[in-house]
C-alpha cells in the first residue's frame, strides 16, 4: 500500500476518510501492462473531489506513484482513494487542509472471467438506495448501502442483485451498472439522484454514440426489465457480463435473456479498451 507516496500500511485515525467516509475512490483494471481507461478514472476522481470540495492537487505525483507501483506486476486491481485528510472539528471540514491519497493493489476477481463467458443470474434486492442528488454519480467512501445490499445477497443463491431507489426506479446492481435491450432500443438507468456513474458505463455510452446506437437514459421500475430481450451488467473490472435470468423473489417472476446484441456490443467495447488503455512500461 502507498500512502502519500510512501510504502506503508498505516494512516492516522484522525483522517476524515476514517471518521466520516469523507473522500472518494476508483478501481482500475491493470492487464497486459496497461491500465484500462486510466484517463477516465483520473477525470472521475477530479470530478468527485470537486463535488466534495476536496482541494487535492497532487495529480502528477499520484500518477507517477500509480505507474511506479505497477512495475513488475502482471495483472491486478488498482484502487485509489483520496480523503480530505485530518482536521476540522466534528463534521465541519474547516482546518482539513492536507488531503491524503492511498494506492493499493488487489487480485482481479477470478470469477469475473467465468461470468463473462456464461453470464450471471440476478435477483431483486430488498434494499433500496436513498435519493441524494448532491452525491449521485460519484464513488464516495460512504458505502453502507452497498454493505447492506451485499449482506442480503449472501442469503440468496444469486450472483448479484438489481437495486432500485426509494421510488422503485431501477438504479444499478451491488457492484455494477445495468443496460437492457428492448424492442430494438438500448436503455440504462438515470443516475442523477442516486447510484454510481461507472467509468465503464460512461465508456459504453460513448462507444454507443460513436456507433450510432441510441441509448435511452430512463427512470423505469423493475417491471421494465421483465419485458426486455437482453440485459447486461458492467464495471471496470468485469467489463460486460451478460445476464442469463432475473428472478423477483416478491412474486417469483422469472425472465430469461438472450445475448446476441450484448455480445456484439462487447466486441466494440474490447476494441475501445485496447485503444484507450495507458501503458505503464
Catalytic residues: 27, 139, 172
3-state helix, strand, coil in the chain (%, to 5): 30, 35, 35
Torsion of CA 211, 33, 45, 12, to 10 degrees: 160
**Which of 178, 179, 177, 173 has the alpha carbon at shortest distance from 158?**
173
Strand-pair category, 160-165 with 120-129: parallel
d(CA 7, CA 1): 6
Tell me the Ramachandran region of residue 85: left when phi exceeds 0, alpha when psi lies from -120 to 50, beta otherwise.
Answer: left
Grid cell of 45 as nine digits: 476522481
Contact in structure between 125 and 222 (CB atoms under 8 Å): no
Rounded-to-integer distance, Cα 122 and Cα 246, Å:
5
Locus of grid cell 432500443: 185
Rg of the chain over all Cα atoms, to the nearest angstrom: 19
CB environment 101-115: b (16+ within 10 A), e (fewer) = bbbbbeeeeeeeeeb
> How far apart, in whole angstroms, are the C-alpha atoms of residue 201 and residue 188?
9
**DSSP summary character for residue 155:** T
Which residue in 108, 102, 40 sits closest to 74, CA to CA?
108
Amino acid at each position: 500500500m502507498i500512502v502519500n507516496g510512501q510504502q506503508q500500511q498505516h494512516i492516522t485515525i484522525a483522517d476524515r476518510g476514517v471518521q466520516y467516509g469523507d473522500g472518494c475512490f476508483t478501481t482500475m483494471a491493470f492487464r497486459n501492462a496497461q491500465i484500462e481507461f486510466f484517463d477516465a478514472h483520473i477525470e472521475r476522481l477530479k470530478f468527485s473531489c470537486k463535488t466534495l470540495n476536496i482541494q487535492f492537487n497532487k495529480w502528477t505525483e499520484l500518477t507517477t506513484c500509480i505507474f511506479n507501483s505497477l512495475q513488475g506486476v502482471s495483472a491486478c486491481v488498482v484502487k485509489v482513494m483520496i480523503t480530505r485528510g485530518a482536521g476540522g472539528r466534528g463534521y465541519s471540514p474547516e482546518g482539513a487542509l492536507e488531503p491524503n491519497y492511498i494506492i493499493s493493489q488487489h487480485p482481479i476477481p477470478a470469477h469475473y472471467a467465468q461470468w463473462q463467458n456464461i453470464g450471471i443470474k440476478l435477483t431483486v434486492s430488498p434494499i433500496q438506495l436513498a435519493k441524494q442528488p448532491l452525491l449521485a454519480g460519484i464513488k464516495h467512501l460512504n458505502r453502507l448501502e452497498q454493505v447492506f445490499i451485499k449482506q442480503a445477497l449472501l442469503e440468496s443463491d444469486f450472483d448479484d442483485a438489481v437495486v432500485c431507489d426509494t421510488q422503485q426506479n431501477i438504479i444499478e446492481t451491488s457492484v455494477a451498472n445495468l443496460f437492457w435491450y428492448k424492442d430494438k432500443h438500448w436503455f440504462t438507468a438515470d443516475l442523477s439522484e442516486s447510484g454510481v456513474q461507472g467509468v465503464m458505463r460512461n465508456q459504453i455510452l460513448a462507444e454507443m454514440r460513436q456507433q450510432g446506437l441510441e441509448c435511452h437514459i430512463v427512470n423505469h421500475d423493475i417491471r421494465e426489465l421483465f419485458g426486455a430481450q437482453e440485459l447486461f451488467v458492467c464495471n471496470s473490472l468485469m467489463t460486460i457480463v451478460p445476464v442469463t435470468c432475473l428472478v423477483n423473489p416478491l412474486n417469483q417472476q422469472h425472465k430469461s435473456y438472450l445475448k446476441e446484441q450484448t455480445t456484439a456490443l462487447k466486441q466494440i467495447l474490447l476494441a475501445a479498451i485496447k485503444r484507450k488503455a495507458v501503458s505503464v512500461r
